Amino acid sequence: MLDYHAAPDLLANKVILITGAGDGIGRQAALHYGAHGATVILLGKTVKKLEAVYDELLAQGSPEPAIIPLDLNGATKNHYQDLAETLKQQFGRLDGVLFNASHLSVLGPFEMIGEDEWDQVMQVNLKSQFLLTQALLPLLKATPDSSIVYTSSGVGKQGRAYWGSYAISKFATEGMMQVLADELSNSSVRANCINPGATRTDMRSRAYPGEDPMSLRTAAEIMPLYLYLMGKDSLTVNGQSLDAQPDKVQRKA
Ligand code: NDP
């Protein structure tokens, strides 16, 4: 999928929401979706980072984006319902959602996973996606073709020692996507997962402090799959978990 070339107007007139849009992969997705014509809704925790992406989008000539400051750790069902209502009022449509924000838990032995840490990871990485998906489905179903993309991980497909609640939340994300995609199979909405693979971001540096970041692909380099799944070239793709860097996938037999 690294060699997919998106048409310049692939996402023209589309409105796309991205969680965790202020940094790393989410930031690049915002810039790429905007560059291909989308109006991007930037959701994230740190307003300054979202404002910087907003400015970059305007500077590159993309449609004017919107900012939704929200900490997914504290957000409730009401916040998501209000958010859906705001999008409906202000944009009248929603064509895509990239669920990208995640909390990387403390890596360590299973016996040491703290209850609070578990709750925070499940809140940010899983429950927020469940509630936001529920809130946004009516809007997504109202557009002719819309795409939901969740973010998985290699540790969400093959369990790995010490990856604890983060890995478990990614397995659950894969499961939620599959259940939803099966229900949506006769609808205009499709749902899929992306496993970004090792990518040069802050989260990766925190997980692998001894690794040379320059040995990794940048977030910009893995964008072909992010574009493909959001645009019309993937209309028939539903219920899939795809690797953004298929050449780098190494799974235990
Ligand atoms: P980063 O840490 O670089 O960025 C994560 C983004 O999520 C940030 O913008 C952050 O906001 C936001 N975020 C985190 N917690 C919250 C919260 N409580 N509420 C709202 N926003 C929040 O991570 P990556 O770009 O590396 O990761 C993006 C996705 O890709 C994640 O789902 C991750 O699990 C997945 N992934 C990444 C890999 C990699 O190698 N980088 C490999 C496999 C999967 P803020 O900056 O304000 O904290």
Structural domains in the chain? 15-245 (3.40.50.720)
Is a pLDDT exceeding 60 seen at residue 252?
Answer: no
- Provide the token pair at 229: 């799944």
Which pLDDT does position 253 carry in this prediction? 44
Residues with CB under 6 A from ligand 1: 20, 22-26, 44-46, 49, 71-73, 100-103, 124, 151, 153, 196, 198-199, 201-204
Residue type, 113: I
Distance, CA 17 to ligand 1 centroid (Å)? 15
- Count of residues making up the chain: 253
Is a pLDDT exceeding 70 seen at residue 180?
Answer: yes
What mean pLDDT comes out for the span 88-99?
97
What is the average pLDDT value for the chain, to the nearest integer? 96
Largest CA distance in the chain: 51
Distance, CA 231 to ligand 1 centroid (Å)? 23
- Cα separation of 199 and 215, whole Å? 9
Q: Which atom of ligand 1 is nearest to the CA of 199?
A: 40
Which pLDDT does position 238 carry in this prediction? 98
Residue bearing the CA closest to ligand 1, atom 46: 23
Q: 87: closest CA among 63, 117, 64, 66? A: 66
166 noted as active-site residue: yes
Q: Provide long-range contacts, Cβ within 8 A and 24+ apart, for 60-66.
A: 60/31, 60/34, 60/35, 62/31, 62/34, 62/35, 62/37, 62/38, 63/34, 63/37, 63/38, 63/39, 64/39, 65/30, 65/34, 65/39, 65/40, 65/41, 66/39, 66/40, 66/41, 66/42, 66/90, 66/91
Is a pLDDT exceeding 50 seen at residue 10?
Answer: yes
Q: Which atom of ligand 1 is nearest to the CA of 219?
A: 25
Distance, CA 20 to ligand 1 centroid (Å)? 6
CB neighbours of residue 109 within 10 Å: 9
Q: Give pTM, 2 decimals.
A: 0.97
Is a pLDDT exceeding 80 seen at residue 19?
Answer: yes
What mean pLDDT comes out for the span 38-67?
98
Helices 164-183, 128-141: inter-axial angle, 10-degree rounding: 20
